[in-house]
Structure 1
């Protein structure tokens, strides 16, 4: 007999710093199937399979921010899904004294610290506003915590987001490029390789996953070869200034025909000659493709 868990399906993490500020996440406004689109909320997500709430919130927090911090249960709130269905969210609270600008943001728009009184002027997710109000009444400002030693020059260590890119090359030398949707946050209406940001996975596994999700392509791990790395502080094309590492893998063998599987991100796939790239292109992608053609394996952008 299977015993169903009575824990809430949803989880979320309220992070507060020693100044009493709350780390809020701006949700996508136009992406389909988003709960409370365009509002400020806190990171979290639903339980998967047999996960407990604690396991789910720790996984979601790491996937969405790269953070692993001690969390304690705070409260359970009611919420509604993108189609109006009702649910419950187990909210946890933790402390972190890092800089919001250092956080990767694979989902949504950005992370920012806000004082509690400032949230009254924001477009807030209703249940998140409820959670902050409760925390203000019941919890003291946490003791200061360090976020890591300072490096020479007075700057702190910063997380570098890692993205994987597919240099898919046909027998005639043409490579696969996609034209990004005008409504995406980064590089709208520009041509780009098939690419994605890593989750909790290795680079090769992440690229294989992205190829299947975005274009319906099946690639074996042994058919991928790392051919170029770009380390950039300024990626151009609406860059948010987050340090990023772009890994470009060449594949000459695969199964399937490229198809648009995420029309909210990509409008079309084309095959292009590296010597005659379509325009407009994502700047760092064009630089990497040109460097691959010259046999170069590494590029730095924006550091000087």
Structure 2
């Protein structure tokens, strides 16, 4: 039996990792983006792009440490949500892997003042109006207990 080769291009989205740091009062840490990155002036959790040869957990721990100065033990990082987001700038899909942490060592501080202007503790059940749109979507879905969601795609979920 002969199979025809599938001529479609393989999908290789960028992967972003995010960490929802939860305080005892249930609030999560959001950072106000500044400078030239996407969505400057808006709030997002600590996170960023996954680098080559880096695990999702390793990238999340690296990003939260670089941005806030805290250390999270790998055992204290828990997967909580997967977001398939379509970037409004270029229409490309991105995967957002979201983790949560309730324990860390150190006090969160702004370690990247060229990329962040403020740290804000917010109620995830009521995302601030000035969140990055996909951040608000993640917080809403997380509070609903959803493990996966899409954001920014047509109602049909993309191509038919």
Q: TM-score band, normalised by the shorter chain?
A: 0.7 to 0.9
User: So what's the TM-score if we normalise by structure 2?
Assistant: 0.87
* Distance in 2 of aligned mates of 1:187 and 1:265: 11
Deviation at 1:180, TM superposition (A): 0.4
Q: Pick the aligned partner of 1:293 from 116, 139, 143.
A: 143
Uncovered stretches (5+) of structure 1, i.e. residues with no partner: 1-147
Q: Contact conserved, 2:127 with 2:140, CA < 8 A, in 1?
A: no
> What are the residue-to-residue correspondences of 1:72-87 with 2, within 5 Å?
none
3-state SS, counterpart of residue 271 of structure 1? strand
* Distance in 1 of aligned mates of 2:87 and 2:92: 9
Deviation at 1:188, TM superposition (A): 1.0
Uncovered stretches (5+) of structure 2, i.e. residues with no partner: none
Q: Pick the aligned partner of 2:107 from 248, 252, 257.
A: 257
Deviation at 1:149, TM superposition (A): 5.3
Aligned to 2:22: 169
Aligned to 2:7: 150
Deviation at 1:258, TM superposition (A): 1.1
Q: Within the alignment, does 1:248 sit opposite 2:87 as a pair?
A: no
3-state SS, counterpart of residue 246 of structure 1? strand
Q: Within the alignment, does 1:215 sit opposite 2:65 as a pair?
A: no
Aligned to 1:225: 78
Q: Pick the aligned partner of 1:197 from 40, 49, 54.
A: 49
Deviation at 1:231, TM superposition (A): 1.0
* Distance in 1 of aligned mates of 2:127 and 2:50: 26
* Distance in 1 of aligned mates of 2:119 and 2:37: 19
Aligned length: 149
Aligned to 2:128: 278
Q: Contact conserved, 2:127 with 2:139, CA < 8 A, in 1?
A: no
User: So what's the TM-score if we normalise by structure 1?
Assistant: 0.47
* Distance in 1 of aligned mates of 2:106 and 2:29: 13
Structure whose CA Rg is larger: 1
3-state SS, counterpart of residue 179 of structure 1? strand
3-state SS, counterpart of residue 17 of structure 2? strand
